[in-house]
């Protein structure tokens, strides 16, 4: 139950590059076809960049990893044309409940307002998400090579040299950019001699995926010190196919081999559920780390996803933040290949800020859930006691603050506000979705820069290639969410963060902001 059957298998194929006398040269080679590498490959393909995507496996594993995919990730996948099967298959949820013992401490709703195309979260086994991404990549004609393992990587300022091992032997590739999306153990980090900085948590967590029919509501349930698992914590999530994720905290000194034996796990789950009508699909025991590379850009090699940073699963920030790395990097790589290399440094800066934010949130949650010191335990118990009595106390309870996109407050690509705004996302922030006409803003924006503009002021004129989206008085929710007074507008980046906003749109202001957003 720790070595699951593959969920999908793919054939190894010999590529013409393997027969060349000189290494073939590609604009981008992505190493690792996990959720991050796949997302980036699809993004680049839609921008007209032919990349090579290499993976050392010939399968998508059936083992259990990520299940919670956040709204922002779904919006990115929707832009890339692959969210629909995820939404069809996934279990949508917005509401979570936090219990202590058997008592409900509080309930939260991650999406209290309507008018968003995507739910706050879906739960979907990572292997389904990866399969839908592979389907999309294949439909677009991405050059995806299974059983092509990278065994050597050298980085220079003008390109990378990659050594690939296959069942037919070894070959070389040159790339203007090599993107390391090769996961938490990242052989690419080792090949460049790079260290992860951060900490490892001692506590262990048992993950059991259980198949059963149950009528619990579709919500995230978290318990502190439940009667069925005294002194520890527990998390319950519904997945598709009548599978439930149960996450049980174990002590730091628990015997891992013993704890993952089905005959040990079953009685634990029976105590929780009060019955034995379930099958165990998957069992594993994890320790977590919160770490990152000091820099994500090393000459022509750029790190993304778990290869660049790692968090504990409390808050579902691993795959979600990795997909946002890809979202941030795709348009910048495309621009760099057309000569605007200045944007690459902003990837390092913006996604470093995101990694720090995710690591901070995930470390705080892990400290609260599994206090390591007496002082942390005292604070935790006081916060739980306060939460039972006051609304105010609930704010201190941390069962994992769930993944949200980072606002790039200090981005070099933003034109900062010079006068106050009553509402709306500031420069650097991700834009909210809103109804627009008969659809949603998120589906009206394309792959490039856009100017969102409310009628009534000066005529909105943008630069070449800039999509102009007009907002009318009847788009009330959008106007409120963006604080769009008459004639105002937002310059929106391809990754749907705000580059600049204007109380009155003028051609000169938009052009200047666009230049800054392109690091030109």
Ligand X SMILES: Cc1cc2nc3c(=O)[nH]c(=O)nc-3n(C[C@H](O)[C@H](O)[C@H](O)COP(=O)(O)OP(=O)(O)OC[C@H]3O[C@@H](n4cnc5c(N)ncnc54)[C@H](O)[C@@H]3O)c2cc1C
* Interface residues toward ligand X, by CB under 6 A: 31-37, 54-57, 65-68, 126, 149-150, 181-184, 187, 207, 286, 305-307, 313, 316, 318-320, 322
Residue 286 or 379 having the CB closest to ligand X? 286
- Please, what is the minimum distance in Å from the beta carbon of residue 421 to ligand X? 32
Residue 245 or 516 having the CB closest to ligand X? 245
Residue 100 or 249 having the CB closest to ligand X? 249
- Please, what is the minimum distance in Å from the beta carbon of residue 89 to ligand X? 15
The CA distance from 90 to 476, in Å, is 30
- Please, what is the minimum distance in Å from the beta carbon of residue 149 to ligand X? 4
Residue 306 or 327 having the CB closest to ligand X? 306
The CA distance from 234 to 181, in Å, is 31
- Please, what is the minimum distance in Å from the beta carbon of residue 432 to ligand X? 21
- Please, what is the minimum distance in Å from the beta carbon of residue 310 to ligand X? 7
Scan for tokens 């495309």, then name that residue: 334
- Please, what is the minimum distance in Å from the beta carbon of residue 121 to ligand X? 9
The CA distance from 299 to 156, in Å, is 5
Scan for tokens 């922030």, then name that residue: 429
Scan for tokens 């599978």, then name that residue: 243
Q: Establish how many alpha carbons lie within 13 A of residue 358's alpha carbon, considering only the half-sphere containing its beta carbon.
A: 33
Residue 44 or 413 having the CB closest to ligand X? 44
- Please, what is the minimum distance in Å from the beta carbon of residue 57 to ligand X? 4
- Please, what is the minimum distance in Å from the beta carbon of residue 185 to ligand X? 7
Assess contact for 31 and 179: CB atoms under 8 A.
yes
Residue 233 or 414 having the CB closest to ligand X? 233
Q: Tokens in use for 241? A: 């196919």
The CA distance from 83 to 116, in Å, is 14
DSSP 81-147: T-HHHHHHHSEEE-EEEEEETTEEEEEEES--SS--SS-SEEE--HHHHHHHHHHHHHHHT-EEEET
- Please, what is the minimum distance in Å from the beta carbon of residue 6 to ligand X? 12
Q: What b-and-e string marks burial along 53-83, b requiring 16 or more CB atoms within 10 Å of the CB?
A: bbbbbeebbebbbbbbbbbbbbbbbbbbebb
Residue 14 or 340 having the CB closest to ligand X? 14
Which alpha helices (DSSP H) does 301-400 contain, by range? 318-337, 343-369, 374-389, 391-394
Q: Tokens in use for 55? A: 């993976």
Longest CA–CA span in the chain (Å) reads 74
DSSP 404-463: -PPP-TT-TT----SS--SSSPPTTSBPPP-EETTEEHHHH--SS-EEEEETTSS-----
- Please, what is the minimum distance in Å from the beta carbon of residue 288 to ligand X? 8
């Amino acid at each position: 139950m720790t070595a699951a059957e593959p969920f999908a298998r793919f054939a190894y194929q010999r590529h013409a590059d393997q027969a060349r006398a000189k290494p073939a040269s590609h604009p981008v080679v992505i190493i690792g076809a996990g959720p991050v590498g796949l997302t980036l490959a699809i993004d680049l393909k839609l921008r007209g960049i032919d990349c090579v995507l290499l993976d050392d496996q010939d399968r998508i594993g059936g083992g259990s990893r990520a299940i919670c995919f956040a709204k922002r990730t779904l919006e990115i996948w929707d832009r890339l044309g692959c969210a629909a099967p995820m939404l069809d298959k996934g279990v949508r949820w917005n509401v979570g409940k936090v219990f202590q013992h058997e008592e409900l401490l509080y309930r939260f709703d991650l999406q209290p307002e309507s008018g968003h195309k995507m739910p706050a979260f879906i739960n979907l086994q990572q292997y389904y998400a990866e399969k839908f991404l592979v389907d999309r990549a294949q439909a677009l004609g991405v050059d995806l090579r299974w059983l092509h393992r990278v065994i050597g990587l050298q980085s220079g300022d003008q390109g990378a040299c990659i050594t690939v091992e296959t069942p037919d032997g070894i070959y070389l590739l040159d790339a203007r950019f090599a993107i390391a999306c090769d996961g938490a153990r990242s052989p690419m980090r080792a090949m460049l001699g790079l260290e992860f900085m951060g900490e490892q948590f001692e506590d262990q967590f048992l993950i059991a995926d259980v198949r059963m029919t149950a009528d619990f509501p579709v919500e995230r349930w978290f318990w502190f010190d439940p009667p069925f698992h005294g002194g520890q914590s527990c998390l319950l999530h519904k997945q598709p196919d009548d599978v439930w994720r149960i996450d049980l905290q174990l002590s730091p000194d628990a015997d891992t081999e013993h704890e993952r034996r089905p005959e040990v796990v079953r009685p634990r789950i029976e105590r929780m559920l009060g019955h034995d009508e379930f099958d165990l699909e998957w069992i594993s025991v994890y320790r977590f780390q919160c770490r990152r590379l000091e820099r994500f850009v090393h000459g022509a090699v750029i790190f993304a996803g778990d290869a660049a940073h790692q968090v504990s699963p409390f808050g579902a920030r691993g795959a979600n933040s990795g997909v946002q790395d890809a979202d941030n990097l795709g348009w910048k790589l495309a621009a760099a290949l057309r000569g605007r290399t200045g944007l690459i440094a902003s990837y390092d800066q913006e996604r470093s800020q995101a990694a720090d934010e995710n690591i901070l949130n995930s470390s705080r949650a892990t400290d609260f859930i599994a206090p390591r010191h007496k002082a942390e335990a005292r604070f935790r118990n006081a916060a739980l006691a306060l939460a039972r009595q006051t609304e105010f106390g609930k704010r201190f309870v941390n069962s994992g603050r769930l993944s949200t996109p980072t606002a790039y407050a200090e981005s070099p690509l933003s034109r900062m506000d010079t006068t106050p705004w009553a509402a709306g996302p500031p420069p650097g922030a991700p834009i909210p979705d809103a109804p627009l006409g008969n659809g949603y803003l998120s589906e009206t924006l394309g792959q490039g820069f856009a100017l969102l503009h409310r009628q009534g002021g000066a005529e909105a004129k943008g630069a070449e290639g800039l999509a102009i989206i007009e907002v009318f008085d009847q788009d009330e929710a959008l106007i409120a969410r963006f604080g769009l007074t008459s004639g105002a507008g937002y310059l929106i980046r391809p990754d749907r963060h705000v580059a600049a906003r204007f109380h009155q749109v003028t051609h000169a202001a938009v052009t200047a902001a666009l230049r800054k957003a392109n690091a030109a």
